[in-house]
Amino acid sequence: NAGVTQTPKFQVLKTGQSMTLQCAQDMNHEYMSWYRQDPGMGLRLIHYSVGAGITDQGEVPNGYNVSRSTTEDFPLRLLSAAPSQTSVYFCASRERGGVADTQYFGPGTRLTVL
Amino acid sequence: KQEVTQIPAALSVPEGENLVLNCSFTDSAIYNLQWFRQDPGKGLTSLLLIQSSQREQTSGRLNASLDKSSGRSTLYIAASQPGDSATYLCAVLTGGSYIPTFGRGTSLIVHP
């Protein structure tokens, strides 16, 4: 199993550009989520999904869009990039809501918005 | 709303010391608590998961305990090594929630 994969690893955007961060998992996990990590702020939840076709907002959803058309993929779209979106983005997955279900993380995407 | 606090925020110790990292949470109605390790520039790696019905979990030199009634978990690292240098985060999955709540982590440096 590849686990949770994210592409690209690094990205530089100009203000106003749009892009999609890709996330895929091959563990047949129902739950997937996107976080951003900023110095001094910890991990903050952007959006999450509990199954194909079901998504919901997290703590900091503004400026981001998600969809979940398949169990495997959970892309994160930046609609119009702003310097405040400069961050490291992590995708995570979990089998479902069981008490023994471990959460797995991807390696992250480091995004800089100029 | 669940709040998770990790103390201390940073810790520097000499090699060989036994050390304790703390995680506290405000809502004791939890499903599980998970400890992660994050190396600089990398993703998070799961170390241990304690279910709500368990008191502790062990993996090698790591031992994590859970006291739901007091809203606390500790991660004990025995005989610390420079390779243990990393940031350690705890995440609490609360009843009725889909996604865990994370603490801000403890940055650990073990110097030779």
Q: What are the pLDDT digits (tens) for A10-55?
A: 999 999 999 999 999 999 999 999 999 998 888 999 999 999 999 9
User: Which amino acid belongs to residue A27?
Assistant: M
Q: Confirm or reject contact between B5 and chain A (CB < 8 A).
A: no
Share of chain B above pLDDT 70, in %: 100
Cβ–Cβ gap A99/B51 under 8 Å: yes
Share of chain A above pLDDT 70, in %: 99
Q: Which of A97, A100, A104 sits opposite B51 (nearest CB)?
A: A100
The 10s digit of each residue's pLDDT in B28-47 is: 999 999 999 999 989 999 99
Phi/psi zone of residue A92: left (φ > 0), alpha (ψ -120 to 50 degrees), beta? beta
H/E run at residue B82: none
The 10s digit of each residue's pLDDT in B3-24 is: 999 999 999 999 999 999 999 9
Phi, psi of B17 (to 5 degrees): -75, 145
> How far is Cα B89 from Cα B44, in angstroms, rounded to an integer?
9
